Amino acid sequence: MIANHEVELAVPGDATGISLLSRNVIEQGLSWSWTRRRVANSIADRSTNVVVVRQENRLAGFAIMKYAESEAHILLLAVHPDQRRKGVGSALLAWLEATARVAGIDLIRLEVRASNAGAIAFYRQNGFREMHRRKRYYQGIEDAVCMARDLWLSS
């Protein structure tokens, strides 16, 4: 059974844990770009939502989404390896989507590493569709698959 996961806004003290999880499970094989300082700046940025799910006071997962005029862009989303396939990622996405709808956003988009079949399946399962590829998007090393969810078509 999938538990009901509480999604909360991140606080400055979450920056280190988020940046380490990003380095370990998202940016592996690339140079580390989501440093503690960059994550802290996102937490402080009024046009960005940084959210976390905790399990027994430890970081189980997080997501970072930046708002533009009518679109929002998921910059990062990850779940700790020990906490996967329990609905944590879906809970984070559901929170972001509900908040984007309240903010009048039409479209949520994101990029995912082309080799990351698990994440592509996860986003598909959550209503995202593949749009196109961006060649060598990740530090010139790896292609990105660009995905989007149209909130008007999925109310």
The residues annotated as belonging to the active site are 111, 123
Residue ranges of alpha helices (H) inside 74-142 are: 88-102, 117-125
Name the minimum Å distance from CB 86 to ligand COA: 5
Identify the H or E element spanning 135.
strand 129-138
Selection from 110, 112, 26 nearest residue 61 by Cα: 26
| Helix 36-44 and helix 15-25, axial crossing angle in degrees, nearest 10 | 120
**Mask for 79-118, x = binds ligand COA (CB under 6 A):** x----xxxxxxx---------------------x---x-x
Q: Which is nearer to ligand COA, 25 or 153 (CB)?
A: 25
Site for ligand COA in 13-52 (CB under 6 A): 25-26
By CB under 6 A, name the one of 7, 39, 64, 77 that touches ligand COA.
77
What would the DSSP string read from start to end of 33-67?
A: -S-HHHHHHHHH-TTEEEEEEEETTEEEEEEEEEE
Neighbouring CB atoms inside 10 A of 131's CB total 12
Between 31 and 152, name the residue whose CB sits nearer to ligand COA. 31
* Residue among 28, 41, 47, 125 that touches ligand COA (CB under 6 A): 125
Which among 7-15, 77-85, 135-143, 144-152 is the span making contact with ligand COA, rule CB under 6 A? Answer: 77-85
Tell me the pairing of strands 107-113 and 71-79: parallel
Where along the sequence are the contacts to ligand COA (CB under 6 A)? 25-26, 76-79, 84-90, 112, 116, 118-119, 121-122, 125
